[in-house]
Amino acid sequence: MKPALGLPALLSLLACGSPTQPEPLPLSALASRSVSFVLNDTDVLGDVPLPGGHRLTLVVEDLPDGACTRLQEGITATLDGEPMRLAPGGVEDTPGRTQCLQPTAVYDFDPAAWAAAPVEDLELLLQQEGAAPVRLRILGGKAKRRFGVEAPTPAGTLRAGETRLYRYEPASDAGGSASATLHQPGSSVGGELTTVLEPDGRVRVQVPATVPAGNQELHLTRTAPAQLLACEGVAACEGTLFHTEAVPVDIVR
Which tens digit of pLDDT belongs to each residue from 63-115? 777 778 999 999 999 999 999 999 999 999 878 788 889 999 999 999 999 99
Tell whether the model's pLDDT for residue 182 goes beyond 90: yes
Tell whether the model's pLDDT for residue 40 goes beyond 70: yes
CATH homologous superfamily of 146-224+246-252: Immunoglobulins (2.60.40.10)
Q: Return mean pLDDT, the chain.
A: 89
Q: What is the pLDDT of residue 49?
A: 78
Is the model more confident about 18 or about 217? 217
Q: What DSSP letter does each residue of the chain carry, written as one string? A: ---SS-HHHHHHHHHHSSPPPPPPBPGGGGGG-EEEEEEEEEE-SSSSPPTTSEEEEEEEPPPTT----BBPTT-EEEETTEEPEEE-BEEEEETTEEEEEPPEEEEE--HHHHHHS--EEEEEEEE-TTSPPEEEEEEEEES--EEEE-SSS-TTEEETT-EEEEEEE-TT--SSEEEEEEE-TT-S-EEEEEEEE-TTS-EEEEPPTTPPSEEEEEEEEEEEEPPEEEEESSSEEEEEEEEEEEEEEEEE-
Q: What is the pLDDT of residue 1?
A: 39
Tell whether the model's pLDDT for residue 19 goes beyond 70: no
Least confident stretch, 7-11, 60-64, 191-195: 7-11
Tell whether the model's pLDDT for residue 17 goes beyond 60: no
Domain segments of the chain as ranges? 7-12+22-143+225-243, 146-224+246-252
Q: What is the pLDDT of residue 3?
A: 40
Is the model more confident about 238 or about 2? 238
**Domains 7-12+22-143+225-243 and 146-224+246-252 belong to one CATH topology:** yes
Highest mean pLDDT pick, 23-37, 155-169, 181-195:
23-37
The domain defined by 7-12+22-143+225-243 folds into Immunoglobulin-like (2.60.40)
